[in-house]
Amino acid sequence: MRVTLLFTSSPNLGSALIRRVTGESVSHCAIQLSDSLVMHATGSGVVVVPLQSFLDGHTVRHRLRMDVEVEAVLRGMEATVGTGYDWGAFFYLGLRLILPFLPKKNLWSASGMNICTEVVQRFLNLPNDPLITPYKLYLTLIKQGAK
């Protein structure tokens, strides 16, 4: 099965803050499952929404097409859809960017909740790096040969 990873920004305050703190043009990532559905982490949790609804609120900066097994898609959805948003991880990521001497381990990474990069990493069966930004995840995937 082919999915498209979408790396985006939006005009909302959270996106602007992420982009300002990281100095990167991307603040969010999502998984386009089909021509009409997108899975992503929102403030209220991980959801699957119509593609057009997602695009109405996000500007796509980069796209990567990825081949994944259908079973991986189902496992990824089962593990993440309906889970809460990991505000602790989001807060710690911000603190870590401002105070780089803090431990690199995300103290909330075992919470069972997710931020957008954790959803994509789990979905693609990648090693979890809870401190990776959406843009750094994009660059990592490019280095691994994604297009």
The CATH fold assigned to 2-143 is endopeptidase fold (from Nostoc punctiforme) (3.90.1720)
Per-residue pLDDT of the chain (147 residues; tens, 9 = 90+): 888 999 999 998 888 888 887 889 998 999 898 999 998 888 777 788 999 999 999 999 999 998 887 777 777 777 777 766 666 666 776 777 777 777 665 444 444 446 678 778 877 778 877 678 889 999 999 998 888
**Which pLDDT score, from 0 to 100, does residue 113 have?**
45
The answer for residues whose C-beta is within 8 angstroms of residue 103's C-beta and 6 or more apart is none
Tokens of 13: 């305050």
d(Cα 28, Cα 5) in Å, to the nearest integer?
Answer: 10
d(Cα 19, Cα 28) in Å, to the nearest integer?
Answer: 10
E strands present in the chain: 2-9, 28-32, 37-42, 45-50, 59-67
d(Cα 59, Cα 7) in Å, to the nearest integer?
Answer: 8
d(Cα 71, Cα 57) in Å, to the nearest integer?
Answer: 30
The structure's pTM equals 0.79
Q: Quick one: 40 exposed, middle or buried, by C-beta within 10 A (0-12, 13-18, 19+)?
A: buried
